[in-house]
Amino acid sequence: MANAAPSLNTPPPDEPRPSAWGGLTVFFDTPVKRAVVLVVLLVFMAAAPGLFGPYATVILTNALLYAILALGLNIVVGYAGLLDLGYAAFFAVGAYTVGILTKEFGWNFWATLPVAILAAACAGVIIGGPTLRLRSDYLAIVTLGFGEIVRISARNLQITGAASGISGIDQPWLFGWHIQSQTDFYYVFLVLAVIAVICSARLANSRLGRAWLYVRHDEDAAEAMGIDRVRVKLAAYIIGAIYGSIGGAFFAVNLTAISPESFSFQQSTLFLMAVVLGGMGRIPGVILGAFIVVLGPELLRDLGSLRLLIFAVGLLAIMLFRPGGVWPVRRS
């Protein structure tokens, strides 16, 4: 008797189960172990500013920002299997929305967040709607072009401050707490990273997450099963764009100034590098990849001009000996 057709309640064959963690099962194979490891990590991260000092706090804040953005890109690349080379565009949408509304129109920062999210969702629809029937290299070229269009537009429009960007962005208040020091923003980004991890884990185990796995495994087979692959991929773009927009919004108020050069193609490649290097589709791997991308050059700073060369050689070695990433997916 023939096997029944698979459903969205089970993962596709030869694909990793949509577990949020997986991989290093010695640490994460039971709920108790996962809880203990996560609590230890959170306690360590909470104590990090006091342990390492102001300079390290700035670097760790940047690493947390990259982790948030990499988790958003992981939804597009790791979950849905789409290649996005213009993710910095969504990052820019959030930053410029907050910068324009707070600086030019006098809005409160918290009132600008829903607008930034809506703007990012619209940007996701604009880039995703007409192009998601494309595949492979063609999709990558279109997303690359979209990222450059956003950057060049920001560089030439008067409302975005042209090449000079926007400066003097007000830092927010929260229930009488003025978020202004580097330590303040470190804890804000830590909370955002925790929320991003929780949302990514819930998405991975949802019906939509299983649909992404099927689409990534075989688009034609998924469509034959009744999955609307265009709608599913568009959902990945919109959700990924929202992650990028929120990261950009807090990036803008953290630095109080933004310019088009902060959202270049190089930033998109660094976000993608974090996802690929850590392990596509694996939450802890993506976070680890983001920290490697940010902390690696800093730890090699004493080597002077050779640090980037040595860092690049290290990245090549990782990709040669760990092609699935530092924390690769676990095959079921």
Phi, psi (deg, nearest 5) at residue 257: -155, 140
SS3 159: coil
Q: What is the pLDDT of residue 250?
A: 96
Residues 6+ apart with CB under 8 A from 162: 155, 156
User: Which residues are paired to 277 by β-bridges?
Assistant: none
Phi, psi (deg, nearest 5) at residue 173: -110, 145
pTM: 0.88
Length of the chain (residues): 332
Q: What is the pLDDT of residue 137?
A: 74
Residues 6+ apart with CB under 8 A from 4: none
Q: What is the pLDDT of residue 4?
A: 47
- Residue 294 in tokens: 């940010």
SS3 16: strand
Please list the pLDDT of the chain residue by residue as tens digits (332 residues). Answer: 444 445 555 555 444 444 444 445 556 667 787 788 888 999 999 999 999 999 999 999 999 999 999 999 999 999 988 888 899 999 999 999 999 999 989 899 999 999 999 999 998 888 777 777 776 678 888 888 889 999 999 999 999 999 899 999 999 999 889 999 999 999 999 999 999 999 999 999 999 999 999 988 888 888 888 888 888 989 999 999 999 999 999 999 999 999 999 999 999 999 999 999 988 888 989 999 999 999 988 888 888 778 888 888 888 888 888 888 887 766 54
SS3 173: strand
User: Pick from 19, 97, 91, 100: which is nearest to 243 by CA?
Assistant: 91
User: Pick from 6, 54, 88: which is nearest to 263 by CA?
Assistant: 88
- Residue 132 in tokens: 């998601």
Domains and CATH numbers, the chain: 25-33+49-321 (1.10.3470)
Q: What is the pLDDT of residue 8?
A: 56
Name the E strands within 124-262: 166-167, 173-174, 177-178, 257-258
Long-range contacts of 189-195 (CB under 8 A, 24+ apart): 189/61, 189/64, 189/65, 189/68, 189/250, 189/254, 190/45, 190/46, 190/64, 192/64, 192/68, 192/246, 192/247, 192/250, 193/64, 193/67, 193/68, 193/71, 193/287, 194/42
